[in-house]
Amino acid sequence: MELQQIKLIVERHFGMNINVKSRERYIVDARRIYFNLCRDFTKKSLMLIGRSMDRDHATALHNIRSSRDLRKTDPDYNKKYIDLYRQVSLLDSNKSKFKTVEIPKYIHPGRFRYGKTKSLRKIFDQRGQITKQRNELH
């Protein structure tokens, strides 16, 4: 899911450009919903989410927190958020039909050097004991 796709969905729903320098309530609410949806559906950092709207990461974080608080108190705002959440999740579910592959987080470098089946312990056990210490070699 990309940030621009979420932005287009929010702008179509509200019928306006949300990337304007305005503090009017309906524009700010649309931006809050955008920031919250980006945080929920993408793995982008706050810096990238804020930069997509020419804002700071702290502004994005503030809007996400205030959106979550406002959803608890304002039923109209919560309804708008749920509608947009469903639209974005439908778009996201269409793309997730492709097979996903899990990549291990950490692979020991010895696995590439010594082969796929051998472990490092077996490799070092085959070398045998070192007879002299480093300081005894000279």
CATH numbers and ranges of domains, the chain: 3-95 (1.10.1750.10)
pLDDT tens-digit map of 113-133: 555 555 556 655 665 565 656
pLDDT tens-digit map of 38-49: 999 998 999 999
Q: Which SS3 state, helix, strand or coil, does residue 59 take?
A: helix
Classify residue 49 as exposed, middle or buried by CB count within 10 Å of its CB (0-12, 13-18, 19+): buried
Q: How far is residue 39's CA from residue 130's CA, in Å, rounded to a whole number?
A: 55
- Check: pTM over 0.85? Answer yes or no: no
Residue found by looking up tokens 């974080």 in the block: 61
